[in-house]
Amino acid sequence: MKLNRTTQRTIEILNLISQSPEGATLDDICKKLDLPKTSAYDIVTTLAEMNMVNVAKGQKQNYTIGLMAYRIGVNYTNNLDFIGTIEPVLKAFSKEVGKTVFFGIPSDHHVVYICKFEPENPIITTATVGSRNPMYCTSLGKVILAYSSEEEREKMISRIKFTQYTEWTIKNKEQLMEELERVRQRGYAFDAREMEEHMQCVGAPVFNRDGNVLGAISVSSLYKPTEDYEALGKLVWDKGAEVSGLLGFLGKI
């Protein structure tokens, strides 16, 4: 398929400007994209007229992303079927790690399992799509609590009744708060055999375009003393960041 050269250059310019918070000059655009100055000038002038970019006049004109481009982006994310967007990514991730992958969202002081993706030879897990589990003893719930606003976190924690499922289950609010601080420091959470003695889970947050925690993803498997769960946690964190980006989140976790 033959691409229209001007359209291609226009998109490349918009992409470059969008990645430059302080803006880009015409010289910057020409140098980084290897464009003739006359062609680049014609494109950015047209973009400015259509409010796709803003122009700050100074010693050199500086271009930043414009209101119309922002509105187009907002319309995209507003109409995004996010389950349909994340499904193929998490399905492939399950196959990659050979473990069951979940996506969950908060519901009061519980986490609800929205999606479940299994490898070819899955282990049997009690969690099913639509089921709920307490936040304080699941990896999904812990990362949601850790990255929620302080007000939301306190509201959810105040409703928790700490039940001892195994000998490793968190027993009280003090232990939970210490655990959440560790979660924020490393970026991922463990369900270290806290719901079921034979299961170990690792979870990481997923953010929406506004930077608020939307939910979380987790990887679940039978507990193995020889497994490197820290390395698995970093993989899950990376996948959570990738999914967040697909949903319009542009910040840093």
pLDDT digits (tens, 9 = 90+) for 40-96: 999 999 999 998 999 987 778 899 988 888 778 766 656 557 888 889 999 999 999
CATH number for the domain harbouring residue 91: 3.30.450.40
Final residue belonging to a domain, choices 43, 77, 111: 77
Which structure tokens are listed for 32?
A: 């980084």
Q: Which domain holds residue 139?
A: 81-246
Final residue belonging to a domain, choices 77, 108, 130: 77
Q: Are 215 and 144 spatial neighbours (Cβ–Cβ below 8 Å)? A: yes
144-160 per-position pLDDT tens digit: 999 999 999 999 999 89
Q: Which of 21, 42, 51, 19 is nearest to 32 (CA)?
A: 19
Residue 251 lies in a domain: no
Instruction: Measure the CA–CA gap between 134 and 149, rounded to whole angstroms.
Output: 18
The whole-model pTM stands at: 0.68
